[in-house]
Amino acid sequence: MTIETFTATLPGGIELSCRAAGPIGAPLLMFLHGFPEAAFVWDGMLEHFAPRYRCIAPNLRGYERSSAPADAQSYRAKHLVGDIRALIEQQGGRAAALIAHDWGGALAWGLAAQHPESIERLVIVNSPHPATFLRELRDNAQQQASSAYMNFLCRPDAEKLLAENDFARLWTFFERMGATDPAHPGGGWLTEAVRERYREVWRRGLTGGCNYYRASPLRPPLTADDTIMSLQLPPEMLTVRVPTLVIWAEADTALPPALLDGLEAYVPDMRLVRVPGATHWIVHERPSLVAQEIDRVLSS
């Protein structure tokens, strides 16, 4: 199966570099990556689903060859969600499923809540719903500690520090969760070939990825006056009514399972699959399991 690449030019002028497979005109599956990743992490899923679906994985705004505005305000949620909505519109108007991880999941939660007509189903892989994330960041010391890296990524020199010594700090995001340890279930996936694919993306610039954190109010409070302490998110803006599958790797040290508590209040039509022992990088660790669960949703 050959993976195609193309550039989608959106109505506002933003360009997204995309990876795609499968017949044009088949039902659309869209895959959204997170930080510090890129669209290539979905290649295995594109190949798996391409016989039956038109599969598209965009590099999000700020990543790889996609447009990367310099100012952080260009990465506010409304702009990022707008990119994905416009891309779906361009690719046929409705997706059979939107499948998303990490920051891609943040955009997917927003799209599903605000523009449910764009998608038939939602699949979330280790990406916290904004309501439970706000609660845990504000009230849970464990989540605050787990998310402390977010404040580091907001520093004006974050991208410079991340790039030092062959991206030494970025590799630790993976290595801390067993990416180079064959004894870890699903571990050992961070081979030299995979590292080189990441380097190719990171060498194009890290400012866009860091700007997602700079533009978001959802990060651990540093003082009692931080925005997050008074932030209100109206439930009607956050409730997702499309059928939703949540796949949650329970050994994710950045996103503890407490984020799932109370989720059903915001996602009434939800199936939750917990994966003990898997980490935040479950798409790399357990691709067959992720594909199998998506298959199950698509056939239901």
Tell me the catalytic residues.
Answer: 102, 213, 280
**Minimal CA–CA distance to 216: which of 91, 79, 84, 99?**
79
For 102-117, b/e burial (b = at least 16 CB within 10 A) is: bbbbbbbbbbbbbeee
Q: Which helix (H) or strand (E) holds 214?
A: helix 207-215
Distance CA 63, CA 169 (A): 18
Q: Are 2 and 21 in contact (CB under 8 A)?
A: yes
Residue 278 has which token pair? 């898997």
Cα dihedral 30, 137, 237, 271 in deg (nearest 10): 50
**What distance in Å separates the CA atoms of residue 92 and residue 182, rounded to the nearest whole number?**
42
Distance CA 262, CA 156 (A): 35
CB 94, CB 61: distance < 8 Å: no
Answer for the pair 55, 21: CB distance below 8 angstroms, yes or no.
yes
Alpha-carbon span 163 to 65, nearest angstrom: 18
Q: Which of 75, 74, 78 is nearest to 86 (CA)?
A: 78
Length of the chain: 300
